[in-house]
Amino acid sequence: MGRRATGGPRIRGPSVKILILGAAAGGGFPQWNCNDPVARLAWMGKLRHRTQSSLAVSLDGRHWVLLNASPDLRQQIRDNPQLHPRADAPLRASPIAAVVLTNADVDHIAGLMSLRESQPLALYAHARVLDVLSRNSVFNVLHPDFVERRSLPADSDILLHDKTGNSLGLHVKAFAVPGKIALWLEDPSAARYGSHQGDTLGLEISDGAGKSFFYVPACAGMTPELAERLSGARLVLFDGTLWQDDEMIQAGVGHKTGQRMGHMSCSATIAAFAPLSVQQKFFIHINNTNPLFVDGAPERAQAAAAGWQIADDGMEISL
C-alpha cells in the first residue's frame, strides 16, 4: 500500500495498471454495416480497426478486473498476453478475476458470454443491470455455481474481491451519470424510454491509498455534481461517442442525435472539462462517424490542444 511517511521519502505502492482493451463504441470500428467516410478509411486499411469499449485493470499484474465485457472480448484476450492463462497455472485458469459493468449496453455485456462456463468469477453491476441479466437466461452460460453476481450500488466504496473472497486490492465507487437505458431495452411508450437512475454508471477505481481514475464510457451531460467529482482527477477516460451531437444525421447514416442516444458530444465535453484541471483525459467509446479516428483531422488537433488523448486498443497506462 502506498503511504507517505511523515518527514521521510514517499514510499510508492504498486501501480494501478490499466489496459485499454477496446476504444470503439458499440459495433466496433469499422462496424459491419457502416460505410460513412470515416469507416470507409478503415475498410480501405488506412485506419486501424478498433474493438469495443472496455478496460482491464490490475494492481498486482496477475489478477485483472474487466471494466465492461465487450462482444470483442475473445479477441481482446487474445491480443493482450496479460489476460492469457499463465504457463504455470492449473489446467483451467484465467487472470480475469472479476468484471464490473457500467450499464447493459450490448457493447458492454455481450462479452460475458465469452466467459463461459465453470470458471470462478465475480460479476459486479447495478441492481438494474443484474435484473436484466437474470431475466435473460442465456447469461447462465456463466455457470451460477461458479460466477457470483454482486450488487454495485451507487456511491458506495467497494473493495473488489474474486469469487473466493480474496481481495483484488482495487476499490470501485460507482456513481450515476446522466444517460439512459440500453438501446435494446428501450420502451417507446415510457417516459425517457424507461430509463431510471442507475442505468448508466461512471466508475472511480482506486488503490485505496490515494491513486484513482475514472471510467465514464457513456454520459449525456455534465452536471455540477459530476464536475465536482471529476475536478482535479489524475485520469479520466470519458465518453467520446460523437464529435458533434448531430454527426450521424449530417453523415446521413442515422436519424438520432447523441443526446437521444445518451451521449454528450466531444466538442461539448472539451468545453465542460476546461475548468476541471484533470491531469490526463482520454476519449473512449468512439463511434464510426467520429473524425477523432482520423490521423491529421482538425478535430484531433483541437482535442489535443485542449489536452485530450484518443484511447486506442492495446494502450497501457499506469498510475
Q: Which of residues 226-285 bind ligand MLT (CB under 6 A)?
A: 261-262
* Shortest reach from residue 258's CB to ligand MLT, in Å: 9
Cα(154)–Cα(131) distance, integer angstroms: 16
Cell (9 digits) for 292 = 477523432
Q: Is 36 in the site for ligand MLT (CB under 6 A)?
A: no
Q: Is 183 in the site for ligand MLT (CB under 6 A)?
A: yes
Q: Which does 183 bind (CB under 5 to 8 A by kind): Mn ion, ligand MLT, none?
A: ligand MLT
Looking at beta carbons, which residue is closest to ligand MLT? 26
Cα(15)–Cα(7) distance, integer angstroms: 23
State which residue, 199 or 313, has the beta carbon closest to ligand MLT: 199
* Shortest reach from residue 34's CB to Mn ion, in Å: 14
Q: Is 26 in the site for ligand MLT (CB under 6 A)?
A: yes
Q: Is 26 in the site for Mn ion (CB under 5 A)?
A: yes
State which residue, 162 or 246, has the beta carbon closest to ligand MLT: 246
Candidates 9-17, 101-109, 134-142, 207-215: pick the segment binding ligand MLT (CB under 6 A): 101-109
Cα(279)–Cα(319) distance, integer angstroms: 12
The 8 Å CB, 24+ separation contacts for 151-154 are 151/124, 151/125, 151/126, 151/127, 152/100, 152/101, 152/124, 152/125, 152/126, 152/201, 153/126, 153/127, 154/126, 154/197, 154/198, 154/201
Of 259, 258, 270, which is closest to residue 309 (Cα–Cα)? 270
256 neighbors 298 (Cβ within 8 angstroms) = no
Cell (9 digits) for 143 = 455457470
How many residues make contact with Mn ion (CB under 5 A)? 3
Candidates 19-27, 167-175, 224-232, 294-302: pick the segment binding Mn ion (CB under 5 A): 19-27
State which residue, 105 or 199, has the beta carbon closest to Mn ion: 105
State which residue, 107 or 245, has the beta carbon closest to Mn ion: 107
Cα(93)–Cα(80) distance, integer angstroms: 16
Q: Is 148 in the site for ligand MLT (CB under 6 A)?
A: no
How many residues make contact with ligand MLT (CB under 6 A)? 10
- For the chain, the distance separating the N- and C-terminal CA atoms, rounded to the nearest angstrom, is 13
- Residues β-bridged to residue 122: 98, 148
Which residue ranges make up the site for Mn ion (CB under 5 A)?
A: 26, 105, 107
Which residue ranges make up the site for ligand MLT (CB under 6 A)?
A: 25-27, 105-107, 183, 218, 261-262
